[in-house]
Structure 1
């Protein structure tokens, strides 16, 4: 019953947001992903569109996703991290993102927080890249690492007047989030080719199996994966 209700909510939101303004971006974008796969689930269309327009895109993946098999098996966490990062590299290649623009940090999976030592490295990365726009997970994601990723970036760029913040949607589609400002919503409508490559990049994460038989990225709810395969990507302008 819960998954049925989730599907109805997703379909309702697709109707509500399908006519939102199309997202238009300036150059130099940084996408901040809490775990390996969030950048693909939420921003594959955006990555492709910007690259096709000749604009610079960088992706910072904060954690290695080493807890994806917690309670599942005894695969070593370092093995999980390296395997998931290899999936990230494969997905980036599918989307046309050069690996020099894919950045891995070492925040602890499940415990991303501002006071982690990795925040200094993220701050240096932002200073080096000087992005015009930074994308973070939506504040209604309902997943602690996703929420903290957004808060960390907000603190780091709060006084940077020339940096815009946008939120992208991943677990937003799965959790019961209703308090949404539709006036700040934007969509990116993918072409058939862009959607095809997004689905290929998603599959690059969720299809490869670990020795235990489950995907390296962990078992994701089918309704969650289905929701993120929509032809449109949903974004929200965020206040710093």
Structure 2
């Protein structure tokens, strides 16, 4: 199925209550980079927190690839900044800092195979066991970013360690795919309403100031989320695609 048709169909998936998507247990969100959790799952995290559902956030990469040439923010300082931003974003969504794990794999070079990938999958599985997870959520395997695809592979490995825990994918950069890209069969899954938590989600996205403002102004190659991209994620729904075993 072409990406344009797939994403259009995904936008028409049935809107469900959170407990219709995850009938029991906790939730683990796997974010390739600091900010993906707020963009793709901000309402999910806020709704789970508001309902007292156990939640864990696992951030896969160290995030230092966003501004690789900044003199003011060399890798160590940038990593610390992005982790602090993530904790601030998590607080906006009701998630305690103790429930956020940073795996610190190399941004832009997250491995999908090998010993570091296996260790990362085990860390995700451990987070799932800690909250009695009823589902895992990770970026879509067709997102046009290597770290997003690798994180999807890590989540699949973690699911294999967990004996049947459902896995869902949330598109982030998938919305930018060329329309003719083939992405497989028709989507299955559900949508979750953003409206009850739009303000919290907007605050969480805004907490990632290094990604949304000119906070780091000395790197001409630096990344910045465009307002139109942010607006997309504050629309009506978050989309969660069911991933088959």
The TM tier, using the shorter chain, reads 0.7 to 0.9
Aligned length: 230
Aligned to 1:109, the other structure's residue is in SS state coil
Contact 2:45 2:95 in 1 (8 A): yes
Distance 1:162 1:204, change over 3 A: same
**Aligned partners of 1:178 and 1:226: how far apart in 2?**
26
Select between 47-56 and 30-39 the one with higher mean Cα deviation. 47-56
What is the CA RMSD across the aligned residues, in angstroms?
A: 2.8
Gaps of 5+ in 1: 1-8
**Aligned partners of 1:226 and 1:72: how far apart in 2?**
27
Gaps of 5+ in 2: none
Q: Which has the higher contact order (CA 8 A, sep 6+)?
A: 2
**Aligned partners of 1:42 and 1:167: how far apart in 2?**
9
Q: Which residue of 2 aligns with 1:184?
A: 188
Which of 65, 68, 71 is the equivalent residue of 1:70?
68
Aligned to 1:141, the other structure's residue is in SS state coil
How far 1:123 moved relative to its partner?
0.1
Matches within 5 A, 1:1-240: 13=7, 17-18=11-12, 20-22=14-16, 24-25=21-22, 26-71=24-69, 73=71, 75-113=73-111, 114-115=113-114, 117=116, 119-127=118-126, 129-130=128-129, 131-158=133-160, 160-176=162-178, 179=183, 181-192=185-196, 194-205=197-208, 206-207=211-212, 209-212=214-217, 218-240=223-245
Distance 1:235 1:178, change over 3 A: farther
How far 1:187 moved relative to its partner?
0.3
**Aligned partners of 1:13 and 1:56: how far apart in 2?**
30
Structure 1 length as normaliser, TM-score? Answer: 0.84
String of CA shifts for 1:111-161, please: whole Å, max 9, x gaps. 101325364154045135322211111112110000011112212322533
